[in-house]
Amino acid sequence: MRIFSDDTLITRPITSGRAYAWAALSANWTTTLLIALSLAILSVLSAIPLLGLFASVVQGIFLYAPAYRIVALMRQNGTPETFKNAMAAENVQSVLTKHFGPAAGYYLGFMVMTLAVFVITGLIFWLGGGSETLMVSVTHMQGDTPTPEQIDALYGQAAGGGSAAFLFLILVSLFFSYVWPLVYGYALTQERFGEAFKASFMLLSPRFWRASFNGAYFRHVSLWMLIMLAAAIVLGICMATVILIPVGLLLLLWMIYFTAIAAAEAYNFFEDL
């Protein structure tokens, strides 16, 4: 569905996406830094017992909330310049809470989808005999300290018995990773909790699967993945170096913004989806 009036988001999606992502990041440095600080504080709080679960959930929602706000502003503004002016007028509260409902809905739906994949993987592992093989091997080693050779054999037997489960997990992860940007782009157009929650399950929709087998979409997603891979490597270096952690937080925000824009562009490719 065409959701943007800027044609460059179709003709030059990666170049335009980077321009919009930088505009979102640099429009108001005070807001940007406060958002990064909020995410950092929530990350620290997530390590505290009892409070950690709540902080982790809020942090997860706050990772999606700015994406919804950015896409909404892009739909209202047809150029990077007007979009940047709109972003400059935003504050931390509007960016993080104005679309809290749909962000929470998508976060919950995505968590349910992830949990379902792991549950199915566990069932395949169990039905394939992986758990039985593992239990028998452990039983044989009870009472004795296992040698390194026995441990290696144990892992080998478990992997052999659960090969179908591992293959399922790998294939599903790869396929969903490929279709996910299109589904996420669709979810970012939803304005209510329930709509965004249901949108996350479009990963199971054959309609979205068929749409993803498109040359323009394949090129777009491939370039986005390469850029994210390079950014993730730099992010890892920054977060492992104390003095570079602030730079890492800003890079993380840019990745959130660029991913949201790239996903919305992917959905914008299709007029009838």
Q: 240: which DSSP letter?
A: T
| Cα–Cα distance for residue pair 66/74, rounded to 1 Å | 12
Calculate the CA dihedral of residues 173, 174, 180, 182 and round it to 10 degrees: -160
What pLDDT score does 122 carry?
79
Structural domain containing residue 209:
8-268
Q: How many domains are contained in the chain?
A: 1
What pLDDT score does 227 carry?
97
The answer to whether residue 273 sits within a structural domain is: no
Tokens (6 digits) for 223: 């370039």
The answer to whether residue 193 sits within a structural domain is: yes
**Residue with the two structure tokens 């990077």:** 80
Contact 234, 251 (CB under 8 A): yes
pTM for this entry: 0.87
User: At CB < 8 A and 24+ separation, what contacts does 153-160 make?
Assistant: 157/133, 158/130, 158/133, 158/134, 159/130, 160/130, 160/133
Each residue's pLDDT tens digit, 54-96: 999 999 999 999 999 999 999 999 888 999 999 999 999 999 9
